[in-house]
């Protein structure tokens, strides 16, 4: 069984909250990929871009605050100082907030092309 920070009654509600915060902070090209059948380290990736390093940080901070207000803390946060790519690991899901150049370089969606895109199911 994978480690989890959330143990939520409804992971999908947490994902909806993450999507809502990212949308409120004007995230670009937001995607939610379901990795349950193609990965053993997490169930979902949330991937989005921002127009600036400052916006990357604002999106990531907003997500962490919203979930912290619900009593949910990340297992790990990486990249917050450089703010070109912030990774927030909640166990059941991992959030990637990129600047556009870094997202294009790493191409996570290409690497996980077999994962179904469930973004439409989670948008508000």
Question: What burial letters (b/e) apply to 88-114, b meaning 16+ CB within 10 Å?
Answer: bbbbbbbbbbbbeebbeeeebeeebee
Residues 94-110 have pLDDT tens digits of 999 999 999 999 999 99
Any idea of the CA torsion for 61, 14, 42, 4, to the nearest 10 degrees? 90
Q: Collect the ranges in the chain with pLDDT lower than 70.
A: 1-9, 124
The Cα–Cα gap between 75 and 108 comes to 21
Q: What is the CATH number of domain 11-119?
A: 3.30.460.10
Please give the pLDDT value at position 9: 53
Specify the pLDDT at position 70.
Answer: 92
Query: Domains of the chain: which residue ranges?
Result: 11-119
Pull the structure tokens for residue 68. 């912290």
Cut 0.85: pTM above it: yes
The per-residue pLDDT for range 69-82, each reduced to its tens digit, is 999 999 999 997 77
Taking the C-alpha atoms of residue 8 and residue 94, their distance in angstroms, rounded to an integer, is 15
CA angle 107, 109, 115 (to 5 degrees): 150
Q: Which neighbouring-strand residues pair with 117?
A: 33
């Amino acid at each position: 069984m994978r480690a989890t920070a959330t143990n939520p009654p409804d992971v999908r509600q947490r994902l909806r909250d993450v999507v809502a915060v990212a949308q409120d902070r004007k995230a670009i090209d937001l995607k939610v990929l379901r990795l349950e059948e193609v990965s053993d380290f997490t169930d979902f990736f949330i991937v989005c871009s921002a127009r600036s390093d400052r916006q990357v940080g604002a999106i990531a901070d907003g997500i962490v605050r919203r979930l912290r207000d619900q009593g949910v803390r990340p297992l790990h946060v990486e990249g917050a100082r450089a703010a070109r790519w912030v990774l927030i690991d909640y166990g059941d899901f991992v959030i990637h907030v990129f600047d556009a150049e870094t997202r294009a370089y790493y191409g996570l969606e290409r690497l996980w092309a077999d994962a179904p895109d469930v973004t439409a199911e989670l948008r508000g």
